[in-house]
Structure 1
């Protein structure tokens, strides 16, 4: 949960702090550990969220929810969320909801893909009036809003390509030449934060769908019927030459977490042996 929130909450470079096993000092002076913690600022107000993770083989009891509520009350000015793998005993959920703690079961959590799509829809999807910095793309429309799906097509080798254009004019021409339904597809500019979200998506396109980005270029003053020049470009090249900053790799992060989990499991087995 910590790494998902860490990367996806910051699609817009909002500086949201996310940590796990965070120790906080309450009003009483007591020290409390929070499994997952994140905070963010809005309109000059700091919002803090604590997540209690119960990866247990038994349901969470009312008393255990009461302990979490007491911890939150002592910390003060913080929102609580509890996640249980095996649900809650009778009365535990009611107590949590009464004290504004959100009780979730593990199977109620959205997958990483769904979290990614939801976060994109709130911070990463470009609006109609956004200007490309420097790229423009063609995206799927549903009920008048872009869905997060980028238009792609096959190149001469049969590989999937996602076109990036340097102007709205060129992007609109590409949309017409592809004979796309304007009710289902639209041109959108990518400002820096939306370009960052695109680069995160591109990792999944490249590794899971065998698709890559392609620059569609026309020189200034080109004839209206001049063909586009297609230039393949990798995610790394786009980051280095056009974004100019660091972009996290979701897959590398997942692999590192899995490797750590395997090492911890092996060490536990050795210790028990």
Structure 2
């Protein structure tokens, strides 16, 4: 792999993953060639675009995997490329920072200067993405599951309620097929309604949950537990709980492949 290509691939994978958390269908390209207003062809290390409310958004990302910091002249070169392309947002990702004044110069020209090692961890990036596009609201219907989530100032935080399994010792996140059953679990657990709330998981939110469940299974000794009661059960009947792996939930309830976080982080 050519020098710098590793950084480009890392940036491409992360942006592709985060931009498509809700199946937006955003394509993130590597080494994309764009013809500018001058008629000249420019190569962009990482490029993506999408449309919202009839507005086309285009982003060009310059990746610099060099031993030293980026100079003001190199920022100027990128700014000139962006100006020729037109109507595009610029981002620079540097492995080893910027020389004096280079980052200030980039900001002046509305180019976002980032340092790869200073980026939030992948887990934090994932959490921020979930907050903006994938966390269920109080009016969402489960497809097919309902879940208990932490709330703060009336909004879900992305954390899920879990119970420790006395046999395996794992923290298991309960999933139910009905809001009624989720509310009963909520009451049985004596949860504080100012800190927790029942939420339905529509398809896009189920996808996001399954992505985070991979981290939960691999890093936090956790998992998911499907809880249900047969129809007509007595009010004091005990829930039946069945452990459900991310793989099984993906195959049997989501029905389509979901990218692995490990693939993105390679």
- TM-score, normalisation: structure 2: 0.92
SS class of match (1:38): strand
Query: 1:142-174 deviations in whole A, cap 9, x for unaligned?
Result: 122111111111123122211101111100100
C-alpha distance in 2, partners of 1:209/1:106? 26
Which of 83, 97, 110 in structure 1 is aligned with 2:120? 110
Unaligned 5+ segments in structure 1 are 258-273
Query: 1:27-57 deviations in whole A, cap 9, x for unaligned?
Result: 2222211111111110111101111111222
1:62 corresponds to: 72
Whether 2:235 is the aligned partner of 1:224: answer yes
Whether 2:100 is the aligned partner of 1:83: answer no
Whether 2:256 is the aligned partner of 1:240: answer no
C-alpha distance in 1, partners of 2:264/2:63? 20
Q: Which moved more, 1:150-159 or 1:228-237?
A: 150-159
Whether 2:55 is the aligned partner of 1:40: answer no
Which of 177, 180, 200 in structure 2 is aligned with 1:166? 177
C-alpha distance in 2, partners of 1:91/1:250? 36
Count of residue pairs brought into register by the alignment: 255
In angstroms, what is the RMSD of aligned CA positions?
A: 1.4
- TM-score, normalisation: structure 1: 0.89
1:53 corresponds to: 63
1:23 corresponds to: 33
Which of 181, 190, 194 in structure 1 is aligned with 2:192? 181
Q: Is the 8 A contact 2:17 2:264 kept in 1?
A: no
C-alpha distance in 2, partners of 1:64/1:126? 43
C-alpha distance in 1, partners of 2:264/2:75? 31
C-alpha distance in 2, partners of 1:28/1:116? 39
SS class of match (1:247): coil
Which of 201, 205, 225 in structure 2 is aligned with 1:190? 201
Structure 1 residues 253 and 92 mapped into 2: Cα distance closer, same or farther (>3 Å)? Answer: closer
Deviation for aligned residue 1:86 = 2.9
C-alpha distance in 1, partners of 2:58/2:256? 28
Whether 2:27 is the aligned partner of 1:14: answer no
Whether 2:263 is the aligned partner of 1:252: answer yes
Q: Which moved more, 1:133-142 or 1:77-86?
A: 77-86
Deviation for aligned residue 1:253 = 3.9
Q: Detail structure 1 runs of 4+ shifted over 6 Å in the superposition.
A: none
